[in-house]
Structure 1
Amino acid sequence: MTRACRALVTGLAVFAMAPASARAEADLSLVCERAAVEAAAGSGVPVSVLKAISLTETGRERGGEVRPWPWTVNMEGKGVWFDSREAALAYVYEHYKRGARSFDVGCFQINYKWHHENFASIEEMFDPSANARYAAAFLTSLHAESGDWETAAGAFHSRTPEYADRYKAKFAEYRARFAEEDGRPLVVTPPLLAVAAAETSAGGGIGGNAAIGARVNTYPLLQGGGQPALGSLFPTGNGGGVGLFGRGGAG
């Protein structure tokens, strides 16, 4: 056996022996990326654009690397990452019942207040494929206004120039990471929800303890001027901790 083969076998053995929860978490970090590839293949939006937006919207630092996270919720300015779809849904329903309507969900942080009528349910808004397809369609319409993907990305976040410009800077940084993928054939790897199902449920079903498995940060929604926009997570103040536009916020 060659040295390279031995290294590969050793690596596979280590992965196989890793706890199921660790493997599930690693798989979950791929869900939004696969959704981005699927949406890019169906819409013509560059895959680098979609991956960069998902990472900007939901980036979570795990093991020193920022990765997108499918069960992300921004509830009226409070951003939370959940370890399971069930816990995320329970959290959203709890606040929905008290009257909350301005919240963002899923891989691309689709805002319920402005866009819920385009989905059959909140559950569908969380679905990685549906979430990504809608984001791609919305980005396509924004791109038609300017002919520039970076400008479209800024408008995806906010129509207020101050907020859009800050968002575009982080978007451009992340897009550069994926730029070379735009020239490659897109390989769609369905089904996305089969990957998501590999997660270890951190909470009960709908109506259970939504706080279990949550990772909370304090970066509020910036959505200027009442303009319909998807919104994102961004740190308050002029200093302090690093937000989701930085190294991934609180883990």
Structure 2
Amino acid sequence: MLPRGLAVAFLVTGLIAQPLATGAATTLASAGGHAPATAGFDTSAATDPAAICDRAAAEAARRTGVPMSVLKAISLTETGRKRAGTFRPWPWTVNMEGKGLWFDSAEAALAYADKEHGRGARSFDVGCFQINYKWHGKAFASIEEMFDPARNALYAARFLNQLHAETGSWGAAAGAYHSRTPEFAQRYQARFERFRSALLHEDANQIPEIPDIVLAANGGPGPSQAERINRFPLLQGGAGAGLGSLVPVGNGGGASLFGPRRGGEAIATGDLN
């Protein structure tokens, strides 16, 4: 997740991360020194990387029934960058221990994450919906898999469905996706609502197949069977109220769905298997 409040963002060009976007950055960050890996997931929209997140959001919306405007607004709130006067999501985003970086390619982003992981970094987020490695790396076969836009989007959609059932509105669900601390949740929700208001027209043409719901209702096999069990720690009984979404919940129910963030900010993550 890009640091909010500080309004700092970066664009990585070559080996130097240069300050960009909403606020004046005060430092430059090196991102180099590591040979690029080859990302194995679909990057066929690489000429327009923003379209990769949009396409993943559309597929997740079709599968889960979460409004497309909700998923696209979440992705913008998490990774949005201004290009040619327009905010677009960015799939090759990494937040490394509180520093947000936008990379030009999947290979560069993966190489950077691998390099930092190799030096011992564990608290970092990746991809369209910013999955946190420290808390949820074990849910994936590799860091590369965590970057997969489709898996990022599908997990985010499933979790948002759970939060919508809990809170009763998509705005409140978005706030809870970010943090359980009201101050941070409300700030995030306000930004989310601004993005979503410009995307509501996309919901009119959305005709979801919702295979997750259909399979669960029919008792069918597959991932949706597991989803019938509440594996979201923050939604389980006994979770500590008011602790926010940024730390593991100490109730024996599994790891938190959020990674830690400066000032109580957090990112939803989770198991896609």
TM-score, normalised by the number of residues in structure 2: 0.60
Note if 1:125 corresponds to 2:146: yes
Q: Percent identity?
A: 62
Which of 77, 93, 101 pairs up with 1:80? 101
Which of 140, 144, 156 pairs up with 1:135? 156
Residue 193 of structure 2: aligned partner? 172
Kindly tell me: are residues 122 and 151 of structure 1, through their superposed partners in 2, closer, same or farther at Cα, counting changes over 3 Å?
Answer: same
User: How far 1:231 sits from its partner (Å)?
Assistant: 6.0
| Aligned equivalents of 2:73, 2:171: Cα separation in 1 | 10
| Aligned equivalents of 1:118, 1:35: Cα separation in 2 | 19
Residue 51 of structure 2: aligned partner? 30
Instruction: Please list, as runs of the form range in 1=range in 2, the aligned pairs for 1:51-200 lying within 5 A after superposition.
Output: 51-185=72-206
| Aligned equivalents of 1:48, 1:232: Cα separation in 2 | 26
Residue deviations 1:174-211, cap 9 Å, x none? 011111111213599xxxxxxxxxxxxxxxxxxxxxxx
Kindly tell me: are residues 233 and 108 of structure 1, through their superposed partners in 2, closer, same or farther at Cα, counting changes over 3 Å?
Answer: farther
Instruction: Provide structure 2 residue ranges, at least 5 long, that are not aligned to the other structure.
Output: 1-44, 210-243, 249-255, 264-273
User: How far 1:224 sits from its partner (Å)?
Assistant: 6.2
CA RMSD of aligned residues (A): 2.5
| Aligned equivalents of 1:225, 1:144: Cα separation in 2 | 21
User: How far 1:141 sits from its partner (Å)?
Assistant: 1.8
User: How far 1:69 sits from its partner (Å)?
Assistant: 0.5
Instruction: Provide structure 1 residue ranges, at least 5 long, that are not aligned to the other structure.
Output: 1-23, 189-222, 236-251
| Aligned equivalents of 1:63, 1:41: Cα separation in 2 | 29
User: How far 1:112 sits from its partner (Å)?
Assistant: 1.4
| 2:246 and 2:261 in contact (8 A); partners too | no
The code of the aligned residue for 1:170 comes to: R
The code of the aligned residue for 2:81 comes to: R
The code of the aligned residue for 1:158 comes to: S
Q: Tell me which of the two structures has the higher relative contact order, counting C-alpha pairs closer than 8 angstroms and 6 or more residues apart.
A: 1
Residue deviations 1:40-71, cap 9 Å, x none? 00011111100000000000111111100000
* Greater percentage in strand: 2
Is the deviation greater in 117-126 or in 56-65? Answer: 117-126
* Greater percentage in helix: 1
Is the deviation greater in 24-33 or in 38-47? Answer: 24-33
Kindly tell me: are residues 134 and 159 of structure 1, through their superposed partners in 2, closer, same or farther at Cα, counting changes over 3 Å?
Answer: same
| Aligned equivalents of 2:174, 2:46: Cα separation in 1 | 28
| 2:135 and 2:259 in contact (8 A); partners too | no
Residue 67 of structure 2: aligned partner? 46
Residue 269 of structure 2: aligned partner? none
User: How far 1:118 sits from its partner (Å)?
Assistant: 2.5
User: How far 1:229 sits from its partner (Å)?
Assistant: 4.7
User: Number of matched residues?
Assistant: 178
The code of the aligned residue for 1:44 comes to: G
The code of the aligned residue for 2:83 comes to: R
